[in-house]
């Protein structure tokens, strides 16, 4: 008598006879990968920022002639410091002074005629009270008086205009400043609007910088300094423009010096430390066309997009200080993947 075949072999033969394969045992699930993590407070840093800046006066004015006359004196030169009201340029005022003399003489004549007209009008009123002259005669004298008063006003305006023309022949500084450039020469004929000098205001010096638009938000809350010639000076904020330059993608920032200011025109750098914590560029990954980092909560890794992130650049992030950020093994992660987190130092 032949021995019985094993039960498994018999089953296999029966299944083979029926055209079916035996069920395969599923492979065991891959274990969750171990990854390193670090607290955001330990990973984040505050990068130093800078932007080109220039010291400028609140006003930088081209001083121009207001009269047509020959230049006889230029009292200052490039680089000179001047005070408000100081004489800068003198023009030949002889023609203007002659016109003033004529205007003053005309005013004197008008004053004399008005005095005569006032006396005649007063006499006419007195005679009218005694019925020696008619009302029409009194009205005529009053009209003559009104006309001479108008003549006096016109003559006075002419005198004031001539006096102003004489004053225009002396060009003075409108504010405390430094002469940046001198564009006129003694002996030249100046015409109204002809630039004579360029004067930089020193009464209110400001630092003007063009800052990248992405840095403007952090700049508003930062302590800012002006770096030039190996020295950094503290600044007080004035304003940051809300308008963005379309070509350079920058905004204008203006500051005032907290202490003594350097000379206008000084070139330097606006320096500050960004108050927003940033994640180093090495930890920023790209997933589905977006840039961000993997955070770990429990045993799950989640991809968090950083909207302002760019390839190869640190990016600001707004995570809680204790948020765990994936470090070692981060490149193999996908959103929602189960992981085995291990605390690790930031690298």
Does residue 267 share a domain with residue 236?
yes
Give the CATH number, domain containing residue 235: 2.40.30.170
The pLDDT assigned to 15 comes to 45
In a domain, 330, yes or no: yes
Residues 245 and 299 in one domain: no
CATH number of the domain encompassing residue 106: 1.10.287
256 located within any domain:
yes
Whether 11 is covered by a domain: the verdict is no
The answer as to whether 5 is a domain residue is no
pLDDT of residue 14: 46
The whole-number pLDDT of residue 225 equals 94
Q: pLDDT for 237-256, tens place per residue? A: 999 988 888 888 899 999 99
d(C-alpha 197, C-alpha 239), whole Å:
30
The count of structural domains within the chain is: 4
Please check whether residues 38 and 53 belong to one and the same domain. no
Pairwise CA distance, residues 284 & 12, whole Å: 55
Same structural domain, 212 and 196: no
DSSP string over 218-281:
HHTTS-EEEEETTEEEEEEEEEE-SPPPTTT-EEEEEEEESS----TT-EEEEEEE-SS-EE-G
Give the residue among 236, 67, 240 at the shortest CA–CA distance from 167: 67
Query: Quick check: 192 pLDDT over 80?
Result: yes
Least Cα distance to 37 among 291, 336, 333, 264 occurs for 333
The whole-model pTM stands at 0.60
Residue 8 domain-assigned? no
Q: Are residues 163 and 180 in the same domain?
A: no
Please tell me whether residues 83 and 179 are part of one structural domain: yes
- Looking at the structure, tell me whether residues 234 and 327 fall in a common domain: no
* pLDDT confidence of residue 4: 43
Q: Is residue 29 part of a domain?
A: no
Average pLDDT of the chain to the nearest whole number: 87
Last residue of a domain, one of 201, 224, 251: 201
Q: Give the CATH number, domain containing residue 177.
A: 2.40.50.100
Residue 211 lies inside a defined structural domain of this protein = yes
In this predicted structure, the answer to whether residue 107 has a pLDDT above a threshold of 90 is yes
Backbone φ and ψ for 167, nearest 5 degrees, come out as -65, -35
| Residue 233 and residue 137 in one domain | no
Which CATH number fits the domain that encloses residue 291? 2.40.420
pLDDT of residue 67: 92
All residues at 6 or more sequence positions from 87 whose CB lies less than 8 Å from its CB, including other chains: 75, 170, 171, 172
Instruction: Convert the pLDDT of each residue in 290-342 to its tens digit.
Output: 999 999 999 999 999 998 888 889 999 999 999 999 999 999 999 999 999 88
Of 118, 152, 167, which residue sits at a domain end? 167
Q: Are residues 180 and 222 in the same domain?
A: no
Higher pLDDT, 85 or 24: 85
pLDDT at 2: 45
Q: What is the pLDDT of residue 1?
A: 42
Strand pairing of 340-343 and 34-39? parallel
pLDDT band at 344 (very low <50, low <70, confident <90, very high): low
Q: 147 and 178 share a domain?
A: no
Check residue 204 and give its pLDDT: 84
Residue 3: what pLDDT?
46
What confidence score (pLDDT) does residue 249 get? 86
Full residue range of the structural domain in which residue 257 is found: 49-57+203-273
Average of pLDDT values for 164-176? 94
**CB-CB contact of 81 with 316 (8 Å):** no
250, 157: one domain: no
Confidence of residue 182 (pLDDT cuts 50, 70, 90): very high
pLDDT tens column, 126-166: 888 888 888 888 889 899 989 999 999 999 999 999 999 99
Question: Which of these three, 151, 183, 201, is where a domain ends?
Answer: 201
Q: Which of 200, 317, 212 is nearest to 263 (CA)?
A: 200
Q: Cα-Cα-Cα-Cα dihedral of 312, 318, 324, 326, to 10°?
A: -20
In a domain, 3, yes or no: no
Residue 136 shares a structural domain with residue 146: yes
């Amino acid at each position: 008598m032949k021995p019985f075949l094993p039960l498994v072999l018999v089953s296999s033969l029966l299944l083979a006879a029926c055209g079916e394969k035996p069920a395969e045992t599923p492979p065991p699930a891959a274990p969750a990968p171990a990854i390193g993590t670090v607290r955001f407070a330990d990973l984040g840093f505050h990068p130093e920022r800078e932007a080109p800046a220039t010291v400028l006066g609140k006003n930088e004015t081209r001083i121009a002639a207001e009269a047509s006359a020959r230049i006889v004196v230029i009292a200052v030169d490039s680089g000179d410091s001047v005070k408000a009201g100081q004489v800068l340029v003198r023009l030949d005022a002889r023609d203007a002074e002659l016109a003033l003399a004529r205007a003053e003489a005309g005013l004197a004549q008008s004053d004399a005629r008005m005095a005569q007209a006032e006396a005649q009008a007063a006499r006419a009123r007195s005679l009218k009270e005694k019925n020696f002259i008619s009302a029409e005669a009194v009205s005529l004298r009053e009209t003559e008086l009104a006309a001479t008063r108008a003549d006096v006003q016109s003559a006075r305006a002419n005198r004031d205009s001539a006096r102003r023309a004489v004053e225009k022949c002396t060009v003075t500084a409108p504010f405390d400043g430094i002469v940046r450039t001198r564009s006129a020469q003694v002996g030249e004929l100046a015409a109204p609007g002809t630039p004579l000098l360029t004067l930089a205001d020193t009464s209110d010096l400001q630092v003007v910088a063009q800052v990248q638009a992405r840095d403007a938000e952090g700049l508003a809350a930062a302590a800012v300094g002006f770096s030039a010639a190996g020295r950094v000076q503290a600044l007080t904020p004035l304003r940051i423009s809300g308008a963005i330059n379309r070509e350079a993608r920058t905004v204008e920032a203006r500051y005032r010096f907290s202490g003594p200011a350097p000379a206008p025109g000084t070139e330097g750098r606006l320096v500050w430390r960004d108050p927003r914590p940033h994640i180093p560029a090495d930890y920023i990954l790209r997933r589905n066309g977006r840039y961000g980092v993997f955070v770990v909560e429990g045993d799950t890794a989640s991809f968090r997009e950083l909207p302002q992130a760019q390839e190869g650049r640190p990016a600001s992030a707004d995570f809680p200080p204790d948020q765990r950020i994936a470090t070692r093994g981060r490149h193999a992660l996908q959103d929602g993947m189960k992981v085995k987190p291990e605390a690790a130092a930031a690298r």
